[in-house]
């Protein structure tokens, strides 16, 4: 019985073995025939999945593995699809967390029934990156180098704004990987007149990465003005002021007779500032003004400084006539007062010789007949560069009845019992015009005439005049004085009585004699 059971079990195993052998010989794996492609992933900081589908393929005998922890692969047996997922770059659980390099792995597919094996590659590009050490660098006003520390894994280009010509790149060799690199910028001295800044861009050559860095530079103002006091003569002229300054300034003249004549650039920091000065014609010794140089300068972010500097300009008259006018009566003369600080040779002239003449020494005489003329008297330096003028005006005639004042004064002296009387005659001219006495006569009692030369009266032309007359011992009952004088080319007779009565009349021209008249008649 036992032998029969053993035989039956052996026969069963034999049948199964034949069956299995028959089935194994009929299975042929499709894995070698599948069109499997490599997969490539873009750089990303998030997970990504790609799939390959093999329609109507039986993949139930397939298994799939990867050789990297950051990459997982699975087979969806229902849809005959291979799904490959790469982890987000930089994840802490990723054993290859560095996102800044290319990475790759191998995915292996095994047919567990036939032991056939296929593999394909999975790769992922690096995350391109440029890291800068800091976002802002500050340079000193004297210039120098600024070094921007980088970490990068791409080639890059430094882009400096076109208007930031004060920044230039000092190029160094570039490296790869996420490796250290330096961008060295050369900063020019800051003579721009202000704190300045610019944004420098560091760009990957594929334009995908742009990192901006602010470069700022402090400013320290520096300036000198060669001369701050100017003394010039009265001519119209241009003053040149030599200035060294590393900033722009405004100018503010105090008076209108000084204005800006423009600025000439010698170098980046050297200038010649010009000032136009008008001719000085006022009748005074000098005039003075100031010009302020002003600038409001930005030294650094949010910090400003005001700079003020003043120069003084003094303009002097070296040749001028202090007075505006000279008033003379007909026939009068006067010297023109003139200031000639440089002792130049002078030339005098008159605009109307019929009214006023002037000699080489500036003596002006009124010669006009109407007593109401004017002329411009001009004085010039011999070279003609300097000049001034005065208006000569003829005085209008006045009624001397209102200005001539006469008086008597008597004095009696007794000596040895004899009394002697002395008479003093006074005349006073209170006008601003002169008269010329020609002669005078004293009449007493019986009209005895005692003529005198005009020179016998002291100071006869203007102001006071006086004459002392000895009347003797005989009593005098009546007396008077007759004076003859000229005024504005006319002759006058003044009579002053003992009682103090004064009369003035114009002296008539002598009439032609009868003989001459008859002679002319006979002709």
β-strands 490-497, 502-506 pairing: antiparallel
β-strands 346-350, 270-277 pairing: unpaired
Cα–Cα distance measured from residue 417 to residue 419, given in angstroms and rounded to the nearest whole number: 7
Q: What is the separation of C-alpha 338 from the centre of its chain, rounded to a whole number of angstroms?
A: 40
Q: Say which residue the tokens 């000279």 belong to.
A: 326
Sheet holding 333-335, edge to edge: 333-335, 363-366, 356-358
Cα–Cα distance measured from residue 46 to residue 10, given in angstroms and rounded to the nearest whole number: 61
**pLDDT of residue 170 exceeding 90:** no
* DSSP secondary structure string for all residues of 480-495: EEEEEEEETTEEEEEE
pLDDT at residue 19, as a whole number: 44
pLDDT digits (tens, 9 = 90+) for 373-392: 899 999 999 999 999 999 99
- How much of the chain exceeds pLDDT 70, in percent? 85
**pLDDT of residue 460 exceeding 80:** no
pLDDT at residue 266, as a whole number: 95
pLDDT at residue 390, as a whole number: 97
**Verdict on whether the full-model pTM lies above 0.85:** no
**pLDDT of residue 451 exceeding 80:** no
Residue 456 pLDDT class (50, 70, 90 cuts) = low
Nearest to 36 by CA among 68, 67, 80: 80
Average pLDDT over residues 139-153: 90
**Range scoring the smallest mean pLDDT among 189-198, 249-258, 307-316, 463-472:** 463-472
Residue 204 pLDDT class (50, 70, 90 cuts) = confident
Cα–Cα distance measured from residue 175 to residue 155, given in angstroms and rounded to the nearest whole number: 8
**pLDDT of residue 275 exceeding 90:** yes
pLDDT at residue 523, as a whole number: 43
Average pLDDT over residues 212-225: 93
**Range scoring the smallest mean pLDDT among 168-177, 275-284, 320-329, 370-379:** 168-177
Domains and CATH numbers, the chain: 34-124 (2.60.40.10), 130-217 (2.60.40.10), 224-316 (2.60.40.10), 321-394 (2.60.40.1080), 400-506 (2.60.40)
Average pLDDT over residues 29-36: 92
pLDDT digits (tens, 9 = 90+) for 394-423: 988 788 888 889 998 888 888 777 777 788
Highest mean pLDDT among 27-31, 258-262, 448-452, 463-467: 258-262
β-pair partners for 390: 377
Do 340 and 325 form a contact (C-beta atoms < 8 A)? Answer: no
Mean pLDDT (the chain, rounded): 85
β-strands 387-394, 436-444 pairing: unpaired
**pLDDT of residue 35 exceeding 80:** yes
Highest mean pLDDT among 141-155, 180-194, 311-325: 311-325
209: its two tokens: 């990465």
- How much of the chain exceeds pLDDT 90, in percent? 54
């Amino acid at each position: 019985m036992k032998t029969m059971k053993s035989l039956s079990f052996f026969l069963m195993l034999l049948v199964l073995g034949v069956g299995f052998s028959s089935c194994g010989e009929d299975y042929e794996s499709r894995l070698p025939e599948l069109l499997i492609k490599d997969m490539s992933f873009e750089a990303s900081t998030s997970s990504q999945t790609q799939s390959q589908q093999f329609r109507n393929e039986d993949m139930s005998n397939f298994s799939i593995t990867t050789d990297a922890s950051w990459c997982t692969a699975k087979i969806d047996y229902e849809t005959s699809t291979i799904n490959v997922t790469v982890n987000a770059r930089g994840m802490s659980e990723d054993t290859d967390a560095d996102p800044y390099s290319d990475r790759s792995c191998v995915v292996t597919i095994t047919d567990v029934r036939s032991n056939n094996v296929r593999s394909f590659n999975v790769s992922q590009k690096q995350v391109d990156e440029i890291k800068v050490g800091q976002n802002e660098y500050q340079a000193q006003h004297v210039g120098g180098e600024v070094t921007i520390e980088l970490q990068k894994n791409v080639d890059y280009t430094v882009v400096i704004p076109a208007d930031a010509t004060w920044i230039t790149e000092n190029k160094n060799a570039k490296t790869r990987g996420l490796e250290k690199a330096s961008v060295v910028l050369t900063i020019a001295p800051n003579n721009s007149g202000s704190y300045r800044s610019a944004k420098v861009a560091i760009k990957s050559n594929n334009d995908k990465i742009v990192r901006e860095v602010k470069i700022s530079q402090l400013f320290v103002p520096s300036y000198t003005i060669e001369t701050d006091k100017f003394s010039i003569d009265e001519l119209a002229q241009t003053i040149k002021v030599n200035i060294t300054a590393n900033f722009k300034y405004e100018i503010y003249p105090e008076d209108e007779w000084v204005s800006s004549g423009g600025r000439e650039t010698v170098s980046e920091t050297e200038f010649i500032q010009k000032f136009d000065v008008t001719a000085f014609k006022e009748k005074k010794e000098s005039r003075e003004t100031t010009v302020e140089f002003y600038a409001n300068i930005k030294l650094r972010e949010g910090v400003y400084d005001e700079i003020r500097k003043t120069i003084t300009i003094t303009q002097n008259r070296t040749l001028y006539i202090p007075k505006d006018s000279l008033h003379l009566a007909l026939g009068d003369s006067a010297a023109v007062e003139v200031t000639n600080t440089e002792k130049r040779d002078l030339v005098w002239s008159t605009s109307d010789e019929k009214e006023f003449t002037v000699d080489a020494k500036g003596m002006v005489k009124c010669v006009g007949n109407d007593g109401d003329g004017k002329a411009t008297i001009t004085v010039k330096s011999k070279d003609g560069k300097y000049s001034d003028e005065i208006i000569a005006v003829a005085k209008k005639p006045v009624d001397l009845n209102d200005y001539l004042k006469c008086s008597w004064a008597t004095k009696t002296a007794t000596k040895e019992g004899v009394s002697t009387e002395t008479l003093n005659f006074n005349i006073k001219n209170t006008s601003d015009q002169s008269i010329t006495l020609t002669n005078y006569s004293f009449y007493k009692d019986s009209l005895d005439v005692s003529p005198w030369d005009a020179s016998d009266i002291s100071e006869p032309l203007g102001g006071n005049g006086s004459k002392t007359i000895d009347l003797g011992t005989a009593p005098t009952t009546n007396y008077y004085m007759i004076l003859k004088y000229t005024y504005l080319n006319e002759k006058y007779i003044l009579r002053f009585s003992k009682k103090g009565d004064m009369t003035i009349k114009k002296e008539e021209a002598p009439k032609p004699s009868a003989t001459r008249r008859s002679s002319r008649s006979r002709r």
